Copies of this chain bind each other. A is one copy, B any other.
Amino acid sequence: MILKSQVEWALHCCAILAGLPEGRYLSTKALAELHGLPKEYLSKALQSLSQASLVDTTLGPSGGYRLARPSSEISFLEIVEAVEGKARSFTCTNIRENNPCRPAGYCDSKPCAVARVMWEADEAWRNTLRRVRLSDLVGTLSEDVPPDIWRDTFEWVLKRAG
């Protein structure tokens, strides 16, 4: 079980978008260059964010992406699910049905106990991500990253923002 690298990309891109001034857009090209990522493939991740209505887009030379909502109203989980999908990590293939001791046509009243535990763990994972807001991430980053690098980065970004 391994998450796509697009999850890392999307989260970092959203953190950058969260620092954009009101109404400005940042292009795939700039985001790819800033993070050293393949532009075409990063574009797929950003399209996922767009389809999930987490970002707004606009076309043309000064176009690109911006957050659709304030960063305090976007959760980690929304970003992760946008690129990774909402499907649970554990899928039950109902192997209990193959038990030769089961009467033919017997129908289970509940999902299997094994699956229920695995899904509970999945929920715990999602709940952790649900509780973290994008604005929390930006706050932590601004503490971790040295002030001069932080400032230079947003200067770099603003120079390219449409």
Contacts and interface: CB of A to CB of B under 8 A. Distances in A.
Given A101-B152, A114-B11, A128 B137 contact: no
A106 B15 contact: no
Interface stretch (A20-28, A31-39, A56-64, A66-74): A31-39
A51 interface: no
Nearest to A132: B117
A40 interface: no
Q: How many copies altogether?
A: 2
A104 interface: no
A97 B7 CA distance: 17
Nearest to A146: B106
10 contacts: A1-B84, A5-B91, A34-B99, A35-B98, A37-B98, A89-B89, A99-B149, A99-B153, A102-B149, A113-B144
